[in-house]
Structures are given as structure tokens and as C-alpha cells.
Amino acid sequence: MSRRLDADVIVIGAGMVGASAALALARYGYAVQLLDAAAEPSAPGAELDLRVVALAPSSARLLSELDVWSQLPRERVAAYRAMHVWDAASGAAFDFDAGLLDAQCLGWIVENRLLQWTLWQALGRAGVLLRSATQAVGHVAEADSARLDLADGTQLRARLLLAVDGRESPLRQAAGIGVRGHDYGQRAVVAHLRSARPHADTAWQRFLPDGPLALLPLADGRVSLVWSLPEAEAARVLALDAGEFAHAVGVASDFRLGPLQLDSARAAFALRLALAERFAAPRLALLGDAAHAVHPLAGQGVNLGLRDVQELCDLLASTRRAGRDPGAATLLARYARRRRSADWLDAHAFDALARVFALRATPAVAARGLGMHALQALPALKRTLAQHAAGWPP
């Protein structure tokens, strides 16, 4: 016997990926509820968030379709038109520019908190019911629906549950889905700095033996630092005073943008490779960090999550038009097969890059330098890599 449903789809986790999934499904006519363990955030302040995301063209296109992209204040979105990458050990370098994509830019740097807030403001307009400060602890799949159990004892029912509840996903764990990967033993140090030379709308990345350093352009002229360091070294640089810290970043970036000045607070977060063994269970699909967590060296974490959203919602759009069950096992298997394959390749490619650039032996450094010189000399290969990073089909 069919039971009363609280929604067609319940999304657990209202971060950037979860909120995007809820908006996309509401746009296709599904009744959607969105749950998050955190309280509803306050509006972003005047100071830029320390955590930023590099949005690829595919992500911007999805946000445009959700009527979110146009709501972001332009004065807080920085387009980057080029990327310069160089290796401290070999001295080799290569560049990407927007001309490779016949586009005006390679992507955009956006504050996490600002994008999150803008997505949440769109939920009400789309008819999504948001339940903040609500913790999901488990689920039970049944023939025609799934029961979601909340920490306060409440039970909700839907045809489909989407677990977008982060790297430690309680729902993934409750479903018995294992994770493969490893801890990098590193932390990413983040801060905003002012540079003596303009950032030139360019993302600057230098590979160092201890980990990559990136200086990303901000809309207000500053640069956003993302510096991967072993945990002990991260703790040491975080303890430096402002002047010493800025000088350390300058040395690590070879003073490519001249002397630097710290112009924000500092923070750090742990780095880990994690890939779920399965991306779906009966009436449950995993998206975003619940499915995969990757090294930030390529800035693709959120973009991979938004590609999960696009893949699943494309499948669910046709399912809705045909009047079929959005939680059907065949549909979830198709989503899981497609996205786990794509995310596995990207996650391990980023992991391999991190390992290759950490090698210090002279033959390895020389081979790495030759490879970078070859890439710089092969515009067709660079175009292919830029298209993949942009989320464009091959």
C-alpha cells in the first residue's frame, strides 16, 4: 500500500551542491524538501569570505539556468582570463588563457559564503521547503518510497533521498557505503593578501616540494591564497606574525606579484582524497563531497559536485516527463555508473599530479620539466585540458 509522501525528493545537505540540486529539481516540477544540520546563515558581510571557489563555465551555466548567477553582485565576482603554472624545482612553466576556449575567461572566483547565501535566497522563490538545524541520521528504503529518520525522532518520506551532507556524510555511513582514499597529511592555508603588482586577472600556481601554492584573483584587486603544506609546516606559518607570513608567501610564490601584505584573517583545512565505493543505494544517491573529496590543486571540488547535479537532474527531468519513479533502481544505477567513472578519473588524476610534483629526485624533476615544456608547446593538448576543466564534452 502506498504511504503518504512529504516530498518527491528530499535533499540532505544545503551547501552549494545540495542547494543547487534542490533548485534544479524544483524547476523540473518535483516537490522538494532541503534539510541541513546547520542553522540558516546570516547575510555575507562587507569583508570577502576566506574560502573561495573557482567556478568553471559548466558550473556558471548551471547556476544561470537556476536564476542564481545573475543574482550574484558583479563587484564580488572575479573573472580570471589566464592561468600561469610553474614548477619551483625544474623552473618549467606553462600557461592557459581564455583564447584556448574561444571565450572571454577561463572561470570565476566566487566566495563560498556569498554563493551559498544567494542559493538559499532562491529556494523560497522556487518553492523548496528548507529545514535548517535538522539532522538526518538514517534511512530505510521501501518498495515505493524511502523513510528518512531525523535526530529528533521525526520521520519523513519521499520517493528519493539525495545525500549531499559532506565528506563525513552520516547518511552514506548509515547506508553502509565505504570510502576509499587517504589523508594527505596536509592542510590548505587560506588568506587574502594585497600584492604590489596587479594580479592581471590571472590564477597563479606554483608547485613546491611540500605542496602547491595558488594566488587567485579577487574582484577587489587582492589575491586569495590557497597553500597546501604538511600539517606541522602549516601550523608554523599560521603562527607567524602578519609581516612574516606575507614574506613567507612572497618567497614561496617567487615574488611573482611583488611584495605582499596580509589583509585578512588566516585559516586552514585538512586535505584528504576520498571516493565512495558506490554512489547510490536503494532510493539514495550521493552527490558532492559525500561522494568524492579531492585535492584542491586543480580547484575542481565544487565543479565536480555541480556536474553530479547536472547528470542526476538531466536523468530526473526525463523521468518526470515520463511520469516514472525518480527513485527507481535502474535510474540510480545509471547515475552512479556515469558519475563514479568520471569522478574516479578526475580524483585520481589530481592525486597523481600532487604525487608527481612532490618528487624531489633529480631524474624525476628533469622528466617533469620536459613534460611541462612539451605541454606549453602543444596548444591542441592544452585546449583539450582546458575544455575538460571547463566541463565541456570532448
Q: Domain locations in the chain? A: 7-44+51-78+110-181+272-390, 184-271
Q: What topology does CATH give the domain 7-44+51-78+110-181+272-390?
A: FAD/NAD(P)-binding domain (3.50.50)
CB 276 within 8 A of CB 155: no
Q: Residue 345's pLDDT band (boundaries 50, 70, 90)?
A: confident
pLDDT at 253 over 90: yes
pTM (predicted TM-score): 0.93
Q: Residue 1's pLDDT band (boundaries 50, 70, 90)?
A: very low
Report pLDDT digits (tens) over 118-134.
999 999 999 999 999 99
Report pLDDT digits (tens) over 14-48.
999 999 999 999 999 999 999 999 888 788 888 88
Sign of the alpha-carbon torsion through 115, 83, 344, 387? positive
What pLDDT shows up at residue 296?
Answer: 79
What pLDDT shows up at residue 57?
Answer: 92
Distance in angstroms (rounded) separating the CA atoms of residues 25 and 314: 9
Report pLDDT digits (tens) over 78-93.
999 999 999 999 999 9
pLDDT at 189 over 70: yes
What pLDDT shows up at residue 364?
Answer: 87
Which long-range contacts does 245-251 make (Cβ < 8 Å, 24+ apart)? 245/191, 246/193, 249/191, 249/193, 249/213, 249/225
Report pLDDT digits (tens) over 40-80.
878 888 888 899 999 999 999 999 999 999 999 999 999 99
pLDDT at 2 over 70: no
Q: How many beta carbons lie within 10 A of that of residue 366, not counting itself?
A: 13
Q: Which of 1-5, 135-139, 191-195, 255-259 shows the lowest per-residue confidence on average (mean pLDDT)?
A: 1-5
Whole-number Cα distances in Å, 102 to 58, 83, 99, 205, 387: 15, 15, 5, 22, 10
Question: What mean pLDDT comes out for the span 166-195?
Answer: 94
CATH number attached to the domain at 184-271? 3.30.9.10
pLDDT at 374 over 80: yes
CB 62 within 8 A of CB 391: no
Ramachandran sector of residue 102 (left: φ over 0; alpha: ψ -120 to 50; beta: rest): left
Grid cell in block for residue 356: 608527481
Distance in angstroms (rounded) separating the CA atoms of residues 195 and 224: 10
Q: Residue 298's pLDDT band (boundaries 50, 70, 90)?
A: low
Average pLDDT, the chain: 92
Report pLDDT digits (tens) over 255-290.
999 999 999 999 999 999 999 999 999 999 999 999
